[in-house]
Chain A
Amino acid sequence: MKVAVTGLNNVDSPGPGVPVIRGIKDSGKFEGEIIGLLYDALEPGAYMREVTSRSYLIPYPSSGIESFFDRLAYINSFEKIDVIFPTLDAELFAFSKLSGKLNDLGIKTLVPTMEQLVLRGKDKLFDFCTKNNINAPYNIIASSINDLYALPKELQYPVVIKGIFYDAYVAHNFQEASAYFTKMASKWGLPIIVQEFISGEEYNVVALGDGEGTAIGAVASKKMYITDKGKGWAGVTIMDEELLSISQKIIKALNWRGGAEFEFVKKRDTGEYFLLEINPRFPAWVYLAVGAGQNLPYAALQLALGEKIEPFENYEVGKIFIRYSWDLIVDMKKFEDITVNGVLRND
């Protein structure tokens, strides 16, 4: 069995690749090799012997889906990959589009459909929530700075200004809002989402959908330490029936296929949960779910292979993850190999 995993950028804003691989290996049932797929020669997971056997550089899907596919097909021609496990937002559209062609090469994937990806998009999420009776902060889709002049009454400052793919800032007045608007429009393009700011504590759920409406697993957590980049550096599993039932409802409504992370805020004055975002892949803290008893990465691998699996029933509350950094020492030769030949071998 050969599984290729992306997102080995275990840096200060880490990709989920390394924790996903650890989950698969921790299952004790996995026999085979893990191959890394890299967008950058210095992604740490490629240099970690206990994580990847070999890694290959691949082009960004944004540079062209054909050459992206060609490179994967080339690597597959001698590696014979069974499953590709994509873990990053920006590549999911490409993998979703290519899932049929990859299947023809004998490569299985577990990725959301294009329709699911569009529906959970930041610009569509509010509509989706309204239709399915899920609380979500009110928003408007702004296509020009003029839209900021006439905000509807539901939007009082402070508001959240969000890019269509990444980034979000809280703006306290019109001046700040228009500055963020311009900044994000130039970086990620239009439209920009202007969202109601809801004050309260944030909670996250990592979940896995089987594509037929069933949540195979879902684990809720609260971040305990947040870096200046807004990433959780420590977190704890919690149990709240309501949080989990909303998560199941989302998976059912979308027939979600694959891993996901739901971000919620619990409104300070009413205690209601508001859905802020659906990330269409596992978060980097997915290993906490493994540690708490739900090996969601391995379950996702089983789903990708077409195996029938039973949903997880529960998990341990009060398990904590604490992230740390660790310096690897490698020879220049390794960097040369990946730079020049596009392959790095740990075997």
Chain B
Amino acid sequence: MTKKRYEKPIILKQHSGMMNKFGSTQTFRPITKIDDVEIDSLTEKFGSPLFVFSEKQIREKYRKLNKIFKTRYPKVRFAWSYKTNYLSAICSIYHQEGSWAEVVSEFEYDKARDLGVKGENIIFNGPFKSESALEKAIREKALIHIDHFDELYSIMEITEKIDLTANVAIRVNMDTGIYPPWNRFGFNYENGEAMLALKRIIHDERLELKGLHTHIGTYIMSAEPYRQATLKLVDLAKEIYDNYNVRLEYIDLGGGFPSNNTLKGQYLEAEQLLPTYEDYADAITSALFELNLPSDELPVLTLETGRALIDDSGYLITSVFATKRLSTGKQALIMDAGVNYLFTSYWFNHKVVPTKEISGFTENTIVYGPLCMNIDVIRDDVVLPVMHKGDKLVVLYVGAYSVTQWMQFISLRPNVVLITEEGDVELIRAAETNENITEQERLPEKLSDFTLTD
């Protein structure tokens, strides 16, 4: 006789709070595979925790977004935002799709060059570009997006010293009706600072003004601010054409489109609140047509979309290391991955999903990471089925920022794999070893020897 499937015994008290925030029943759609690869086979081979990226999903998402913009505007260019995810394999997928590189540090700049991106296809952003980085970028014809006057003057000095011209744009900040406004980066539009910087650039014969750039914020949940931002850049573009006869090659709207992740403190799930990408595209492109230029004279629309492109294609598989009952009776799980790998769980309520079919008996659960630290919480209240030691959860939408902001704290960072379009599983970043960490250290001779107390 075959035995019945076992589930840990559990009892729940019924309490009825009219319209309480959390559901009384829950149905789950467990994830057993990513693309067509079984989750269990992935962890068998590569261990747990494990970051998994899907090449197919990455390319599909890119092509979808590209198409949405290209069907609305004739000239569109994407530049892959390295800080969002600079694993070589991931960057290379975007470069194969035709994406330029958008970098914000010398480290990222060099990384893009090493991957084979030419300087002239690199957009160099950020408030902190060292003199050596600037000189390199000027020599290699990169597009330097100037953030402040000190940087502008540095570029003027360098170009004079090496007697070369630099390709530049300025970053503009502005009031687009979003709160709080981002005014720490770039030159302000409303107080005339942006126009002043543009004048300086136009009057310097070694500076070649190529475009205008803005990046209005992150996780912008409405399309209207993009329309406002575009209109203001269009306004600047018209002014410099009218006054100085300078035509821009491109207008760069930066990034900031949200992904499916739900922000903490947000009452409804992101999926229910967000506009479609078509809405964003309509807002931006309709404003660009206000330039009233014939199609061949329109500037290229550059987008530095990061999160919206990659977030949904990244997964973290993590296993239940232990289950616990808190003194309140609440189910607690200790997972083998925590905030050390999911920095983003400080601001997102990450979606966590079980990997096998369950009976439908669910309860409010707290999901802890493995660190010996009180702040190590992946979700502080999420409805999950009865979980056993060794069961797995998949954390969804972790493609953006997790593998760039993760910490080597207390433990080493795990494997990262890519499921290719062909269905093969490729290791794209090997798990760290003790040697990786200690090889950077130097132990002074006099500390190399010790005797412990009895």
Contact = CB atoms under 8 A, between A and B. Distances in A.
Contacts of B17: 40
Nearest to B265: A189
Interface in B232-270: 265-269
Contact of A61 (B24, B26, B272, B351): B272
Nearest to A127: B177
Nearest to A140: B179
Interface stretch (A27-35, A62-70, A211-219, A232-240): A62-70
Contact of A67 (B21, B24, B28, B222): B28
A262 to B, nearest CB: 23
Contacts of B18: 9, 11, 40, 42-43
Given A41-B16, A60-B21, A189-B266, A94 B26 contact: no
A94 B267 contact: no
A231 interface: no
B27 A59 contact: yes
Interface in B9-68: 14, 16-29
B179 A191 contact: yes
Contact of B272 (A40, A97, A191): A97
B292 to A, nearest CB: 24
Given A59-B26, A143-B179, A118 B268 contact: no
Given A59-B23, A64-B351, A339 B14 contact: yes
A67 B29 CA distance: 7
Given A118-B222, A191-B179, A42 B267 contact: no
B414 interface: no
A144 B272 contact: no
Interface string A319-341: 00000000000000000000100
Contact of B25 (A61, A71, A189): A71
A144 B269 CA distance: 23
Interface string A128-171: 00000000000001011000000000000000000011000000
Contact of A58 (B16, B25, B180, B269): B25
B29 A342 contact: no
B430 interface: no
A190 B265 contact: yes
Nearest to B266: A189
A188 to B, nearest CB: 6
Most buried by A among B17, B266, B272: B272
Binding site of B, secondary structure by majority: helix, strand, loop or mixed?
loop
B14 A41 contact: yes
A314 to B, nearest CB: 36
B24 A41 contact: yes
A39 B266 contact: no
Contact of B19 (A40, A61, A94, A190): A40
A114 interface: yes
Nearest to A11: B18
A317 interface: no
Given A59-B26, A71-B27, A191-B179, A65 B265 contact: no
A305 interface: no
B180 A144 contact: yes
Contact of B27 (A9, A42, A74): A74
B269 A62 contact: yes
A61 B268 CA distance: 8
18 contacts: A11-B18, A40-B17, A41-B16, A42-B18, A59-B26, A59-B27, A62-B23, A63-B26, A63-B269, A63-B383, A64-B351, A70-B27, A70-B29, A97-B271, A165-B267, A185-B265, A339-B14, A342-B25
